[in-house]
Structure 1
Amino acid sequence: MTTPPRGLHPRQALAGLSCGRGGPGLWLADQTRSPLIGTCAVRCQTDGVNASLPLREAARAVLLDADHRVLLLRYAEHGGYWATPGGSLEEGETHAAATLRELSEELGISPTSVQLGMQLAQRSTEQLVGEREVRQVERYFLAHASPADVHVDQATQRDNIQTHRWWTLGELRSTRETVYPAGLADLIAAVADGRHPERPVILAG
């Protein structure tokens, strides 16, 4: 499941995408829109997360159908929000394997029904896991499946998921509801246009 980052207002969405000084192989999201992923058009920024905290790795799916609708899960905590499917890695597990496992556990989607693609983005947040504060680093993977592949009655770990919904790009851009991660609509728009990032984009929020 997704926990909203601490200390960040939901409307602090980082919509534009730019190249960054965040380290090799990573591109940063910024508040100014850029027409293309990977365009060095705006200033770059760091994610502001305390790197000294214990690391908790997670994998998430940007799951699209044939019409480029994205599947999001609804949670009631923190006033209610929507988020991509996914969760923390198990010991010895790869991020790709964790993504497929989480889709199966949360939505009953068979791994053989999922076309798993490249890593699109990464996000770091500070979270409380039990009584322990951690730095959660989430990797977001492009995935494709059909609505017919979702079998909620076969899901084994629904946790506190209220419901799920397929969102169009227009709905994502116009909604007043809280959606995590910020910048998701821009990632999907780029994929729909055939503009895949050369490196994973760093998202904030």
Structure 2
Amino acid sequence: MTTSTPPLREAARAIVLDAKDRVLLLRYDENGGFWATPGGSLEDGEDHATATLRELREELGIDEKAVELGAQLAERSKDHLVGGREVRQVEKYFLTRVPAAAVDLARATQPDNIREHRWWPLADLHATGETVYPLGLADLITSVLEHGAPVRPVVLAG
């Protein structure tokens, strides 16, 4: 019996920090509800950095001039359903710095079922009992703030 690998779906995600080192997360209702970093799949011919900026504009109305795009911090691979079909999503996570005031939901063009956005102080992120993706996000941010970006992207659990 052979098993097939789901088709690849490349994605770019932003670990968005403001001047107070709070992280911006988006709330979704599906699968029992969860919080996640902004981002989404790459479009044809697009690189990860460009996709990160586009996703911030589409989901949160953030003008790319307000974004300080940093290093790739992590990556994650996960099989899951997208539009009713199973894919293997490979995500690259980029550190981004954005002033909190740059979020302008009136300019968002593709809110993608986002129910809420919230700036999380790191202590609250560590203490929450809510589901947050990617797993290990609070520890990753703590490490980056204390030691700087990793030499090679960290591989995160599903």
Q: Above 0.5 in TM-score?
A: yes
Do structure 1's residue 101 and structure 2's residue 68 form an aligned pair? no
* Secondary structure of 2:58's aligned partner: helix
Which residue in 2 is equivalent to 1:172? 125
Q: Measure, in 2, the Cα distance between the counterparts of 1:127 and 1:163.
A: 23
Which residue in 2 is equivalent to 1:58? 11
Equivalent positions of 1:129-144 (< 5 A) are 129-144=82-97
Q: Measure, in 2, the Cα distance between the counterparts of 1:130 and 1:77.
A: 13
Gap regions ≥5 residues in structure 2: none
Instruction: Supply the AA of the counterpart residue of 2:46.
Output: E
Which residue in 2 is equivalent to 1:39? none
* Secondary structure of 1:140's aligned partner: strand
Which residue in 2 is equivalent to 1:190? 143
**Mean CA deviation greater in 57-66 or 131-140:** 131-140
* Secondary structure of 2:94's aligned partner: strand
Equivalent positions of 1:60-139 (< 5 A) are 60-139=13-92
Q: Measure, in 2, the Cα distance between the counterparts of 1:95 and 1:153.
A: 25
Q: Measure, in 2, the Cα distance between the counterparts of 1:57 and 1:70.
A: 23
Q: Measure, in 2, the Cα distance between the counterparts of 1:159 and 1:200.
A: 27
Q: Higher helix fraction: Structure 1 or Structure 2?
A: 2
What is the count of residue pairs matched by the alignment? 156
In 2, are the aligned partners of 1:68 and 1:188 still within 8 Å (CA)?
Answer: no
Q: Measure, in 1, the Cα distance between the counterparts of 2:37 and 2:132.
A: 9
In 2, are the aligned partners of 1:81 and 1:178 still within 8 Å (CA)?
Answer: yes
TM-score by length of 1: 0.74
Q: Measure, in 1, the Cα distance between the counterparts of 2:54 and 2:76.
A: 20
Percent of paired sites with the same residue: 64
Q: Measure, in 2, the Cα distance between the counterparts of 1:192 and 1:135.
A: 30
RMSD: 1.3
Task: Write the deviation string for residues 13-69 of structure 1: whole angstroms up to 9, x where unpaired.
Answer: xxxxxxxxxxxxxxxxxxxxxxxxxxxxxxxxxxxxx98221100000000011111
TM-score by length of 2: 0.95
**Stretches of 4+ moved more than 4 A in 1?**
none
